Amino acid sequence: MEKRIFLFDESKSTIILKTSGITQFQFLLIFLIASLTPATAQISTPGIPMSRLKSLDSHSVPTISITSPDTEQLLREDAFTDKYGIAMRFAQNQPTHIDLAKEGLWQQLDDGSQICRLKITSAGAQALIMYYSTFEIPQGAQLFLYDEQQQQIAGAFTSTNNRKSGAFATEMIYGSTTMLEYHSTSKNSRHPQIVIDEVGYVYRTAETIYGTRGFGGSDFCEVNVACFEGAQWQQQAKGVARIIVKQGTSSVWCTGSLLNNTRLDHTPWLLTADHCGPNATQSDLDKWMFYFKYQGPDCENPTSDSTFRFYTMVGATKVASAGGAGVKSDFKLLLLNETVPDAYEPFYNGWSAIETPSPNGVTIHHPQGDIKKISTFTQPLISDSWTALPGTHWRVTWAQTQTNWGVTEGGSSGSPLFNPDGLIVGQLTGGTASCNHATSPDYYGKFSYSWDQSDTLPEHQLKPWLDPINMGVLALEGITDIAEKETAAASLTIFPNPGNGLVFIKLNKQNNTSVEIQVMDIAGRLVYQQSENASYDKFAELDLRHLEHGVYFVKVNQENGAIAVGKLILRGY
């Protein structure tokens, strides 16, 4: 995205400008740049199970069998619910109580360390998900999960994954059997507290993981985000996540996106649809899993994801929503339980609450929980409704593109809709588009409606959370690397402001150094420029009397890379 969006509030006079890409600028507040307390957000750290290193056999490992659900009945129910405002169920959570330390096989190794293994199986399952009511690993110990052939290994999980609530979840392991392996480096170490209270029985969407017709379960017309159509959307794609949503006895696929806020402090806000787990409890939310960077390396479908590194996080809290599907704009705003790690290369997507139909744009999504896809629209959005309440949704019709005719499917729910500037304008509720009915419409809850029209209460609006300092903006660009926010600029004083064209700027520099001063109009065009040798408390004078009356932005580039911007209002004599 090459366009520049300049955001301001008439009641504010000071903002900070900084880049969100190679050629883009965006504004940062010059005050109250808050930062989150660093936290370990990775589900796992690299490692190899000790059984593989020691070539241990698994014949004597105890096996616990989980009752299989009635998958035919589940599929009959799903046939009536997919894509019509009900998120795509793909797993049934079977209740259990499995205490690894009590039911696993303990062995002491020749180096004095201990290993505990347990096999969990459920006939006919395409994959299994472990949900934990208690998850406490002693410091220095490790937990791995893997399939019988160790084609897929999850872990190591360590004490950094412990939660106060005890609730946790681990990524799904393909196949009908999952092995848990715990390793403690000391024979005197206390046992772990690892209790599985539910096993997610995956009965669809994982059947082609190791199949031959291409990766994943999405339909034939979907377009990988690595294709030509996604070339200009790679930053936005980094903010989009596949979500395993747990609600009661069901696990469903959804999609969501990280969001920027006016503090630009990388708070891990995530937008999805409210019908993705509308009745999920906080205990459920603590077990939601978010997969970032889950996408193929190129336009062709991979044969499997066995070579993928999973960039996953667990747990969130719901802070705001506007009803489930059919009620208002169907948005849900989550706060992830932890900071997104730098290694995930997160992009906090920008957004627009301006009630203007976008002429074109894209959605980025995970249909049927598949790798990341992109669908394109080339006709203007139409204001519409999902049910009776008017003006809550954008109606979109997808277009044929160079690669194929991308649409949406179950699992795309909650996916962000982007305008040409790369800003989110809605999230998916549902619709009737499919590969066989590519011109049928889909419906996205309006970001503009969710902003402040759903209700007067903060828990039913986006505005209080995404504009926490009440800057008054209606659009905000995305932000990427955390390193960007560390380029904090000194306070920029401009006076008189409003002024008549003769303007003074106080340059707070203690050492003599060269600075560049630029003045831009509201459209981002450079209208004035001069250089100064700034020393402590020096005032630079700018003669801007030739400019028209209006709002301008004065940008000061310092040699250390800091950038400060102040808003200037010219009213003439």
273-282 mean pLDDT: 94
Q: Which of the given ranges, 162-166, 221-225, 560-564, has the highest pLDDT on average?
A: 221-225
305 is catalytic: no
pLDDT of residue 539: 75
The domain spans of the chain are 1-31+489-573, 50-202, 233-484
Neighbours of 315 (CB within 10 A): 22
Lowest mean pLDDT among 159-163, 315-319, 413-417: 159-163
Neighbours of 398 (CB within 10 A): 24
pLDDT of residue 498: 77
Q: Do 233-484 and 1-31+489-573 have the same topology in CATH?
A: no
Can you point out the beta strands (E) in 158-204? 168-174, 177-184, 193-202
pLDDT of residue 211: 45
436-459 mean pLDDT: 95
Catalytic residue among 305, 330, 370, 467: 330
Mean confidence (pLDDT) of the chain:
84
Q: What is the pLDDT of residues 510-532, one digit of tens each?
A: 445 678 888 887 666 789 998 87
Q: What angle do CA 517, 519, 523 make, to 5 degrees?
A: 145
pLDDT of residue 427: 97
Above 90 in pLDDT, residue 366? yes
Catalytic residue among 183, 191, 266, 275: 275
Beta pairing partners, 417? 363, 426
Residue whose structure tokens are 């034939």: 220
Share of the chain above pLDDT 90, in %: 56
pLDDT of residue 236: 97
Beta pairing partners, 94? 199
pLDDT of residue 85: 60
51 is catalytic: no
Provide the CA 393 distance to its chain's centre, in angstroms.
22
Catalytic residue among 13, 329, 412, 413: 413
546 is catalytic: no
Is residue 435 exposed (0-12), middle (13-18) or buried (19+ Cβ within 10 Å)? Answer: middle
- Name the phi and psi angles at 279, rounded to 5: -110, 20
Above 70 in pLDDT, residue 39? no
pLDDT of residue 548: 86
pLDDT of residue 299: 92
Lowest mean pLDDT among 116-120, 257-261, 517-521: 517-521
Q: pLDDT band at 112, cuts 50/70/90?
A: confident
Residue by residue, DSSP assigns 195-259 as EEEEEEEE-SS-TTTTSSS-SSS--TT--BTTSGGGGGGHHHHTTEEEEEEEETTEEEEEEEEEE
pLDDT of residue 13: 29
Q: How far apart are CA 276 and CA 325, in angstroms?
A: 9
On the CB side of 174, CA atoms within 13 Å amount to 16
Fold of 233-484: Thrombin, subunit H (2.40.10)
pLDDT of residue 320: 96
The residue among 427 and 41 whose pLDDT is bigger is 427
Share of the chain above pLDDT 70, in %: 83
Q: How far apart are CA 427 and CA 415, in angstroms?
A: 5
User: Would you say 417 and 382 are in contact if contact means Cβ atoms under 8 Å apart?
Assistant: no
Residue whose structure tokens are 């129910």: 77
Q: What is the pLDDT of residues 71-105, one digit of tens each?
A: 999 998 888 775 566 888 999 999 999 999 999 99
Q: What is the pLDDT of residues 371-419, one digit of tens each?
A: 999 999 999 999 999 887 899 999 999 999 999 999 999 999 999 999 9
319-338 mean pLDDT: 89
Can you point out the beta strands (E) in 4-152? 14-18, 26-28, 63-65, 88-99, 105-108, 114-121, 127-136, 142-146
Above 90 in pLDDT, residue 167? yes
Fold of 1-31+489-573: Immunoglobulin-like (2.60.40)
Fold of 50-202: Jelly Rolls (2.60.120)
318-341 mean pLDDT: 89
Q: Which of the given ranges, 175-189, 445-459, 538-552, has the highest pLDDT on average?
A: 445-459
Is residue 53 exposed (0-12), middle (13-18) or buried (19+ Cβ within 10 Å)? Answer: exposed
Can you point out the beta strands (E) in 398-484? 416-418, 424-431, 442-446, 475-476
Q: How far apart are CA 268 and CA 41, in angstroms?
A: 11
Strand duo 114-121 + 105-108: pairing: antiparallel
272-299 mean pLDDT: 94
pLDDT of residue 540: 82
Closest CA to 312 of 43, 4, 82: 43
Neighbours of 475 (CB within 10 A): 17
524-547 mean pLDDT: 78
Question: For the chain, percent helix, then strand, then coil, each to nearest 5?
Answer: 10, 40, 50
